[in-house]
Amino acid sequence: MIASHLILKWLHIVAMVYWLGGEWGVFQTSYHVTNPKLSLDERRRHMETAYRIDILARLGIILLLPIGLHMGHNFGVQPLGGGWLVLMWILTAGWIALALAAFAKRGTDAGIRLTRMDDRIRYVLIPALMICAISSLTIGKPFLADWYSTKVLLYSFTLVIGLILRFVMRHWTETFRQLAAGGPNAGLEAKLTREINLSRKLAYVYWILILTIAFIGVTKPF
Angle 26-123-96 (CA atoms, 0-180°, nearest 5)? 55
As a whole number of Å, the CA-based R_g of the chain is 19
pLDDT of 1 above 80: no
Question: Is 0.85 topped by the overall pTM?
Answer: yes
Per-residue pLDDT tens digits for 2-24 = 578 899 999 999 999 988 888 88
Task: Report the SS3 class of residue 56.
Answer: helix
- Asked if 189 and 162 count as a contact pair (C-beta separation under 8 A), the reply is no
Q: What is the mean pLDDT of the chain?
A: 90
Q: φ, ψ for residue 176 (rounded to 5)?
A: -65, -30
Burial of 135 (0-12, 13-18, 19+ CB in 10 A): middle
Q: Which long-range contacts (CB under 8 A, 24 or more apart) does 172-175 make?
A: 172/33, 172/47, 173/47, 173/106, 173/107, 173/111, 173/112, 174/112
pLDDT of 148 above 70: yes
pLDDT of residue 2: 58
How many angstroms separate the CA atoms of 123 and 125, rounded? 6
